[in-house]
Amino acid sequence: MLNRRKMLQGVGAAFGASFASRPLLGSPFSNNSTPKRIIFFMQNQGFDPRTCVPDGVRSSRSLAKLKLPEPISALEPFKDRLQIINGLHGRHTSPSHSAFFGALGGYRGSDGVPPSAATIDYHLSNVLPQTLLPHLCIGMDSIENMKTKPTIATLSASGAGQPIFMHSNPNHLYQMLYGGISKGDIRLQHEARSNLLNQIENFAASKGRSLPPTEQNRYGQFVQGFKDVNGLRDRLDTVSDHLRKFAPKVDERYTTPEFETDWHDCLLDLGISALTSGITNTLTIGSGRGEIFGAWKGLGIEQQGHNLGHMDQPDNPIWIKIRQYNCRMLVRIMEKLESVPEGSGTMMDHTLIVYTSNNADKQHTNGANWPVMLLGNFDGAFKTGCFTQLNGKRPINALYTTLLRAAGKNVDRFNMNDKLAKKFDSGSGPLKQLLV
């Protein structure tokens, strides 16, 4: 039987980790004249370079006259916005089945091991102009896993021992983002949930005062989780008229999904709407949720989970379907952002999409090669339309340093001290090969 106290503590912890309180700008939009946003798309089971590097290419060059490999062929019309990077490493993360928090943290990660520091997506959500919803994480998996575990934390963290939860049930996420502007059952459920969470916050706060001093701090974090989610709801209510323009239409995919890919598509729609509405500027997508699981029956793929990682990816019809599906999602993001005017251009002009894996190049890897694709130029910071070959001596941490530099944070290293860098990094500072 589910322990009710533990369930409520889980709710408080989940929302507290996902939506830390921070100053507001009084608007879902940044007051910066050129707001930026970043999206991380993490596919599990590895990203074999042979599925993204054009045939015969061994050194850095333009993509203009090259044909992209079949798995990423959906990006062919967008080659001028693409940079393929080969030759980063993540040996120090000990990825094996997955690097878990270490994939975005650039440190040693393992199954069931809590994060040892904040991950790059959280850092960027703090560096970029403030928004109502600092950081949104969505996770895609089998329909069974998404129903039984609608939130899970394996990829993102706000600090040591502070995981950020991914949302995997689109109905719950829709209600959180748009319940206040909805009608019918969704509105009734939103109001009932809001009343319950308000009561829990008040009750928890009053009971916490009677605890011993040693327990009050830890319990206070639990109470803060409910304050944060209640505060987020109130802040979203202040821009309800604005949000109505961006809320996706709820259809049968939400309530009666035929395949898990129906929910994957709904989650992507919600993530895109959070970006285009301006309520967040940092989105993390976990396809496989940072684990070794995942399913794509909607693509006609019967195999799922761990077994997918034991298949060679190049020329594999199953992995071609999965990677092509990913790339179609990337195209949907780009096309939607391209359709929204911003400044003298569009939202896509100020956006960067980082596509890679939480598991380097393959399952059971040593992390010696960690391919990455970048889409967009982040307001002119990154080179596009090119393939960049690195020498395998700089870690993924160097990429994250580069992202922070492009976002305006002057750092030379990310989550790597001098002792670790001496062993795993041949240089310091950003990867100049990637920048304009």
For residue range 114-155, list pLDDT tens digits in order.
Answer: 999 999 999 999 999 989 888 999 999 999 999 999 999 999
Q: What is the model's pLDDT at position 234?
A: 78
Q: Would you call 134 helix, strand, or coil by DSSP?
A: coil
Q: What average pLDDT score do residues 70-83 get?
A: 98
Could you tell me where the DSSP H helices lie in 256-316? 260-276
Q: What is the model's pLDDT at position 211?
A: 55
Q: What is the model's pLDDT at position 194?
A: 53
Q: What is the model's pLDDT at position 200?
A: 52
Percent of the chain with pLDDT over 90: 73
Residue 56 scores a pLDDT above 90:
yes
Residue 107 scores a pLDDT above 70:
yes
Within a 13 Å sphere around the CA of 104, how many CA atoms are in the beta-carbon half? 35
Picking from 130-134, 269-273, 424-428, which range would have the lowest pLDDT averaged per residue? 130-134
Which residues does residue 92 pair with via DSSP β-bridges, in sequence order? none
List the beta strands (DSSP E) in 276-434: 282-287, 341-342, 345-346, 351-357, 372-375, 386-389
Per mean pLDDT, which of 61-65, 242-246, 341-345 is the most reliable? 61-65
Composition of the chain by helix, strand, coil, percent to 5: 45, 15, 40
Alpha carbon separation from 248 to 177, 274, 281, 329 (Å, rounded): 11, 10, 18, 16
Residue 19 scores a pLDDT above 80:
no
- Residue whose structure tokens are 């019309």: 77
Q: What average pLDDT score do residues 249-270 get?
A: 97
Picking from 116-125, 227-236, 249-258, 323-332, which range would have the lowest pLDDT averaged per residue? 227-236
Residue 302 scores a pLDDT above 70:
yes
Q: What average pLDDT score do residues 202-228 get?
A: 56
Distance CA 196, CA 199 (A): 5
Residue 273 scores a pLDDT above 80:
yes
Q: Is the Cβ–Cβ distance between 200 and 208 less than 8 Å? A: no
Residue 9 scores a pLDDT above 70:
no
Q: Is the Cβ–Cβ distance between 375 and 352 less than 8 Å? A: yes
- Residue whose structure tokens are 């870690």: 395
Largest Cα–Cα separation, the chain: 70
Q: Is the Cβ–Cβ distance between 347 and 37 less than 8 Å? A: yes
> Quick one: which of 117, 251, 55, 236 has its CA closest to 171?
251
Q: What is the model's pLDDT at position 7?
A: 35
Q: What is the model's pLDDT at position 233?
A: 74
Q: What is the model's pLDDT at position 212?
A: 66
Q: What is the model's pLDDT at position 96?
A: 85
Residues whose CB falls within 8 Å of the CB of residue 191, separated by 6 or more in sequence, listed in order:
179
